[in-house]
Amino acid sequence: MAKKKHKTPDNVIVRNKRASFDYHLLDTFEAGMALSGWEVKSLRAGKAQLTDSYVLMKDGEAWLLGAQITPLPTASTHFVTDPTRTRKLLLHKKELARIRAAVSQKGQTCVCTQLYWKGHLVKARIALAEGKQSHDKRDTEKDRDWGRQKQRIIRENVKQ
């Protein structure tokens, strides 16, 4: 029997796997996004990328930079489609204050880890993060390998 592929839930549009590799994710927030119509259509088609995205605090507001939403080829040409434009994140004042305070500390940043659907709305999961050193990345890789090896050992012992 063939292995079942791990499938993401239907509501997830795109994940930023690089963020969990490069950062220790400390605290997460759910933010709404201010999008235009062509961006929503592209997100429904799954044409988004978050690899180099981060959150910038400016004038008491949160902005998502570096997220790329590729326009569909059938998009109308009567408006300008910029795939990497900055998008406003919609958060409560208390959440903005917590993010601003954390980002002002040395070594912490805010990154977008996921875009997903919540009903008919697009939400962004953003996380306060602290950069990993290269030895931290190696430790994470070792832990992951050991977890896989444990699963193999358990599987072999159960079969016998």
Query: What domains, with CATH codes, occur in the chain?
Result: 12-132 (2.40.280.10)
pLDDT over 80 at 101, yes or no: yes
Are 39 and 72 in contact by the 8 Å Cβ rule? The answer is no
Contacts by 128-134 with C-beta closer than 8 Å and gap 24+? Answer: 128/25, 128/26, 128/27, 128/28, 128/99, 128/102, 128/103, 129/19, 129/23, 129/24, 129/25, 129/26, 130/23, 130/24, 130/26, 131/22, 131/23, 131/24, 131/107, 132/21, 132/22, 132/23, 132/24
Confidence of residue 89 (pLDDT cuts 50, 70, 90): very high
pLDDT of residue 77: 60
pLDDT over 70 at 160, yes or no: no
Looking at per-residue pLDDT, the higher value among 81 and 9 belongs to 81
Specify the residue for token string 């109308």.
Answer: 76
- Over residues 27-50, the pLDDT tens digits come to 999 999 999 888 898 899 988 999
Confidence of residue 131 (pLDDT cuts 50, 70, 90): confident
Residue type, 53: S
Mean pLDDT of the chain: 86
Of 133, 150, 110, nearest in space to 21 by CA:
133
